Amino acid sequence: MAKLNMMRFQLCAMQKDRKRILEYLQVKEAAEAKSVEPAEAFGKIDVKAEHDAFLSNAEDIMKALAVLDQEAPREKPFLSFLQGRKAVPYSEIERIAEGAGKLLTSAQEALELKREMDAHKNEIQLFEAQLLLLDAWLKLPEPETFSGTKKTTAFIGSISGEHAPEGIRELLAAHFDGAESDRIHIDVVFSRPEQTNFYLIALRRDESAVEEALRKIGFSRPAAGDDDIPSARKEKLRKKIEDLNALIESNRKKLVAMAHLADDFEHLQDYYSMRAEKYAVLNQLALSKHAFVLEGYVLERDAQALKDELESHYAASFEAVPAFDDEEAPVCLENNSFTQALEGVLESYSMPGPGEFDPLPAMSAFYYLMFGIMFSDAGYGLIMAGVCGVCLWKFKNMDENWKKNLRMFFWCGVSTVFWGVVFSSYFGDVVNVVSNTFFGHEVGIPPLWFIPMNEPMRMLIFCLAIGLAQLTFGYVLKGARAIKAGLPLDAAWDAALPILLIYPLIIVLMGSDMFYGLASFKLDLSPSASQLLLAVSAACMIFIVLTAGRQSKSWFKRILKGAYGLYNILAGWLSDTLSYSRLLALGLATGVIASIMNQLGAMGGRNVFGVILFVVVFLAGQAINFGINVLGAYVHSNRLEYVEFFGKFYDGGGRKFAPFGVHTKYIKIEEAAKNG
């Protein structure tokens, strides 16, 4: 239950077995490959182009799948994302591999159909915009380009503003010098406050005078237009749009007809990602004419089985040595499911670095405890644990990461129920409010311990005590790490001294009147006992001043650094412990907001309307409070682990073991599923 032992291996085998060996390793998912420096007579092959081609094929298929799912949605069961990958025999991969070329062509066809559809849709939009413009010219009996007859000349265009024919005539009259305005004919085809479209017929001999007058009132000719009259053009555009819609429909039908390929596409996408992963390993091999070398890491417990299997089936040599002092070795953690569920939280920070132990067991108990105190409502906890529990029970095949997260929230929920019962919070004070409002006499569930809202100081001291315990535990782990690294003196100076320094001070504090004022109880210490404790603490301080700067050669520097170290330790104890007061603040926040929601809901009083109001406000209010506080509890549990706890002993910097395997989205190989 901790960090698993990692081994470095070197595999030497014949080229002719290469394909089968790599495929075997991929299905086994037990070995991580690293790049081999080729020795004499060995070289490397560059298959990056093939690797990239597989990836781009996989991406094409993914896009094609998205197209199919959009045009012909498949029925997906509720919560399908929790169902995990389907286990298939290796023969399914071989079947897909055979038909890969044809399937890929189909996928590209689907993409092309979709591309055409999009192009048609764009065209339709363009035509629709033209139709909209055309509406303003529909009443025009001639094409916009019509310029007149032998004796007359026509002006077709628009001016701004809304005008009747008479109005336009008057506007123009101001700019004529003769009787031209009697010799023109105006028809308005469209008139709106922003613009008036009209056509004007004048005699050929008045052409220049009319044109000049029109120019002066801001006349402009239409931008679009051809030799068709507008209403005919509108028909043509309508027809074009109809045709395009028919094309789109026919493409859609073709895509719907391809819908049965969706499952095969999924398998094909996975097949290509498997090939890409294999080719990534191929890049790291060293090859000669007849042999190849693969190096990497394997778990100690898998090494022997792998060696037996490889050496008995192929002309191969598989040698593995422990990778204790290998700085680059990856890390693999294994714990019971209660503890391992937090691996995601740890991974978000960092995996343990070389020489560090697995911090998961140490952090897990505190994590669940603190989450529970911050969320601290039996109702909420029951919902959380219930939902996660049912999902875990119903979807046994779900993805490993989902499983870990749901397990984590399941245990967080259990802890939340526990603390909710301890502090008597059931959706806030819903029992009291409902009994009081609707049944006339108040009933409450008594707390197992006490109600934090009524005794906040007691709760604060409890939270700080939890903080003190976790911080002390952090120092103990720091000491353990130093001892494991063969540095017992470091453990004494850096871990034991800070603990010995603070506890006498705390005991003396607990005997003071100030503490009585806060907690209403105090320790009965004799003055000599207090003095002895203070002396122990003072001695520790002196030792810390002397040792905290021991890396420096000069005594002057050493003392200065030591004094700074002492300051850091004291300030650290104070601020880190106080940081745990957030357990109280967030815990009270959950309970108080929940109670406020109940109170608001109960405002309707004891009648039918009141009951309806209560149900609505209760459901909405509690849902919001649940969301806000689950976020707060999660973020701040993480923070207390990362900053206060890990700050004492844990650096991280390791890399997670990532064995060469089948990292697919839809299917997994049955044999691999059996192994892990």
The site for another protein (CB under 8 A) is made up of: 345, 347-349, 453, 456-457, 460, 578-579, 581-582, 584-586, 588-589, 592-593, 596, 599-600, 628, 631-632, 635-636, 638-639, 642-643
In whole angstroms, the minimum distance from the beta carbon of 127 to another protein comes to: 29
In whole angstroms, the minimum distance from the beta carbon of 597 to another protein comes to: 10
Q: How far is CA 542 from CA 530, 545, 563, 657, in A?
A: 18, 5, 9, 45
In whole angstroms, the minimum distance from the beta carbon of 639 to another protein comes to: 5
The residue among 184 and 460 lying less far from another protein, judged by its C-beta, is 460
Q: How far is CA 451 from the centre of its chain?
A: 37
The residue among 24 and 634 lying less far from another protein, judged by its C-beta, is 634
State the Cα–Cα distance between residues 367 and 412, nearest whole angstrom.
8
In whole angstroms, the minimum distance from the beta carbon of 433 to another protein comes to: 10
The residue among 288 and 599 lying less far from another protein, judged by its C-beta, is 599
State the Cα–Cα distance between residues 506 and 512, nearest whole angstrom.
10
Other Cβ atoms within 10 Å of 612 Cβ, number: 11
The residue among 10 and 599 lying less far from another protein, judged by its C-beta, is 599
In whole angstroms, the minimum distance from the beta carbon of 254 to another protein comes to: 28
The residue among 196 and 577 lying less far from another protein, judged by its C-beta, is 577
Give the pair of three-digit tokens for residue 124.
Answer: 């339709």
In whole angstroms, the minimum distance from the beta carbon of 643 to another protein comes to: 7
In whole angstroms, the minimum distance from the beta carbon of 493 to another protein comes to: 29
The residue among 356 and 644 lying less far from another protein, judged by its C-beta, is 644
In whole angstroms, the minimum distance from the beta carbon of 307 to another protein comes to: 33
The residue among 248 and 459 lying less far from another protein, judged by its C-beta, is 459
In whole angstroms, the minimum distance from the beta carbon of 288 to another protein comes to: 37
Q: Which of 339, 359, 369 is nearest to 580 (CA)?
A: 369
Give the pair of three-digit tokens for residue 276.
Answer: 């890409």
The residue among 415 and 598 lying less far from another protein, judged by its C-beta, is 598
The residue among 153 and 432 lying less far from another protein, judged by its C-beta, is 432
- Contacts (Cβ under 8 Å, ≥6 apart) of 112: none
The residue among 451 and 548 lying less far from another protein, judged by its C-beta, is 451
| Residue 228 backbone phi and psi in degrees, to 5 | -90, 150
In whole angstroms, the minimum distance from the beta carbon of 585 to another protein comes to: 4
- Contacts (Cβ under 8 Å, ≥6 apart) of 517: none
The residue among 153 and 625 lying less far from another protein, judged by its C-beta, is 625
State the Cα–Cα distance between residues 459 and 423, nearest whole angstrom.
10
In whole angstroms, the minimum distance from the beta carbon of 454 to another protein comes to: 9
State the Cα–Cα distance between residues 198 and 157, nearest whole angstrom.
6
Count of alpha carbons within 13 Å of 178, Cβ hemisphere only? 8
Q: What stretches of 316-399 show up as alpha helix (H) in DSSP? A: 337-340, 343-349, 360-375, 378-394
Length of the chain, please? 676
Which amino acid is present at 458? Answer: R
Q: What stretches of 485-580 show up as alpha helix (H) in DSSP? A: 488-491, 497-510, 513-519, 527-547, 555-579
State the Cα–Cα distance between residues 345 and 360, nearest whole angstrom.
9
161: left (phi over 0), alpha (psi -120 to 50) or beta: left
Q: How far is CA 340 from CA 390, 404, 542, in A?
A: 19, 7, 42
